[in-house]
Chain A
Amino acid sequence: MYNEKVMEHFQNPRNVGILEDAHGVGEVGSAACGDIMKIYIKVANNCIGEIKFQTYGCGAAVATTSMLTEMVLGMPLEEAELVDNRQVADALGGLPEIKLHCSNLAADALRLAISDFRSQHHG
């Protein structure tokens, strides 16, 4: 069902946890639909300096959030917010068709975290 890379991220997710003093937090999904992705960021020099995540959901939900955190760590915010869900799935070597829409929302959570950061620090 899932390829090796997805399973590897599911088994050993990167950057799991909470950033207590995060500069921005973004959350998408709901317990009702079975997927919640929550991303915490700290910004340094306009780049993603630290990133952590928590995910409630299926294997794809865990793997995509893990993959995304790896992709954007150290990236300038303007670049990080352009990463889309499709790129995350591609970086994982693909996901089952049915998972592309329901469990592939990590990039949306990151965008919310970035806008949360901006509203706090520039708003």
Chain B
Amino acid sequence: MPAVYMDHAATTPLDPAVLEAMLPYFTTAYGNASSVHSYGREAREGIDLARQQVAAVLGCQPREIIFTAGGTEADNLAVYGVAENYARSKGKHIITTGLEHHAVGECFEQLAKRGYRVTTLPVDEYGRIDPEEVRRSITSETSLVSIAHGNNEIGTLQPAGEIGRICRELGVFFHLDAVQSTGHLPVKVEELNCDLLSLAAHKFYGPKGVGALYVRQGVRVLPQIHGGAQERGLRAGTENVPGIVGLGAAITLAEREREGRAQREISLRDRLIASILATIPDTRLNGHPRERLPNNVNVSILWVEGESILLALDLKGIAASSGSACTSGSLDPSHVLLGIGLDHATAHGSLRLTLGKDTTEGDIDYLLEVLPPIIQRLRYLSPIWPGHKNRSD
């Protein structure tokens, strides 16, 4: 049976070249980067190089990069770090959207409980925000606007550069959650006009458990983890040297391959979307048709439930994802799908297929071969499928 991995937004395989770069830091160059001796210096050099590599891709200074234990920690540090640090000098008003990853969204919820005023920007049917809405929401007490560059579920891209320009004009810090877009789209901080930017290595063929936060020089974040002077005192704890080295190698490799890979993925993506919509009745595309991550397909398939689609696909060797309640681990389907105005049933029927650098035309062919009969079978099982009335048997 074929093995087709179409869940690259969840995580990607480690590139063998990245593994190669990491390996010595587990076994021979195992020093603590804070140590004075040669072992420590070797580890320090590995971290320094990685910091330069990340800075080169973001177009910033190496000292503006803080390594973290992943995208979630980077998001937490950005949101809490800025909101708490500027609560007195600027105020306790913070702005976001209802479609953020929980790593940002739940920070806002916690801050709301602690007395911060939160503005949740409205989005259109594709999940896009109007930059002018950002301008209208900013007050003299606003410290932070935090928005995802590319949505992890529906793939919709935000007009980040324009939002950032407005924030800068009005003196408000702009955090861009670029966990899904880094390695897939250009993420030059000067073009995006952001003051903070989060990224995670495992989303672009690097290792899990390591990420980074860009913090523009002059912006202060209050540290969230205490107990050491690492990362200029902003992130305590002995550095994950192999992970950081892997992040540096992965982002360099991803940047080199990015344009060609994105073009390939867009062509596979658009073929997949068009074919699903054409061959399976009662389906809809979720997210923006063009302004979307190169590798993201998200469709709702009416009258069936997402987890059952995933189980059936898995039995055929295809790994995918859904925003149904069963897969979100709660009783409600994904807040992103509800946030763009889908009703619960349409959200429960969502299927996310995220492509990667190893995805082939053959993989798309295979998916398009096995998906329609799966849907047909599940619809036949479904009491809400209107097609029963038209059946002759």
Q: Which size bracket describes the interface of B in this complex?
A: 20 to 34
Task: Check: B333 CB closer than 8 A to any chain A CB.
Answer: yes
Task: Check: B229 CB closer than 8 A to any chain A CB.
Answer: no
Contact A10 B308, beta carbon cutoff 8 Å:
yes
Q: Complex Cα distance A41/B382, Å?
A: 17
Q: Complex Cα distance A13/B308, Å?
A: 13
Take A11-B315, A56-B304, A59-B307 as given contacts and tell me if A33 and B331 are in contact as well, using a CB distance cutoff of 8 Å: yes
- What residue of chain B has the Cβ atom nearest to residue A57's Cβ? B305
- What residue of chain A has the Cβ atom nearest to residue B391's Cβ? A18
**Binary A-proximity of B303-343 (CB < 8 A = 1, otherwise 0):** 11101100100010000000011100101010000000001
Of the listed residues A31, A36, A102, A103, the one surrounded by the most CB atoms of chain B closer than 10 A to its CB is A31
Task: Check: B380 CB closer than 8 A to any chain A CB.
Answer: yes
User: Which residues from chain A contact B381 at a C-beta distance below 8 Å?
Assistant: 13, 16, 54-56, 62
Least distance between B166 CB and chain A CB atoms (Å) = 38
Contact A54 B311, beta carbon cutoff 8 Å:
no
Task: Check: B344 CB closer than 8 A to any chain A CB.
Answer: yes
Q: Complex Cα distance A62/B308, Å?
A: 9
Least distance between B197 CB and chain A CB atoms (Å) = 35
Least distance between A1 CB and chain B CB atoms (Å) = 9
- By secondary structure, the A interface counts as mixed
**Binary B-proximity of A72-91 (CB < 8 A = 1, otherwise 0):** 00000000000000000000
User: Which residues from chain B contact A13 at a C-beta distance below 8 Å?
Assistant: 381
Take A32-B345, A34-B305, A102-B331 as given contacts and tell me if A58 and B326 are in contact as well, using a CB distance cutoff of 8 Å: yes
Task: Check: A22 CB closer than 8 A to any chain B CB.
Answer: no
Of the A-B pairs whose beta carbons lie under 8 Å apart in the complex, a sample of 25, sorted by A's number, is A7-B315, A11-B315, A16-B380, A31-B384, A32-B344, A34-B324, A34-B326, A34-B348, A36-B383, A37-B383, A54-B381, A54-B383, A55-B383, A56-B303, A56-B304, A56-B305, A56-B385, A57-B308, A58-B307, A59-B307, A59-B308, A59-B311, A61-B305, A102-B326, A102-B331
Residues on A close to B: CB < 8 A? 2, 7, 10-11, 13, 16, 18, 27, 31-38, 54-59, 61-62, 98-99, 102-103
10 closest A-B pairs by CB: A31-B345, A54-B383, A58-B307, A32-B344, A58-B326, A38-B383, A56-B382, A34-B348, A34-B325, A59-B311
Residues on B close to A: CB < 8 A? 303-305, 307-308, 311, 315, 324-326, 329, 331, 333, 343-345, 348, 380-385, 388
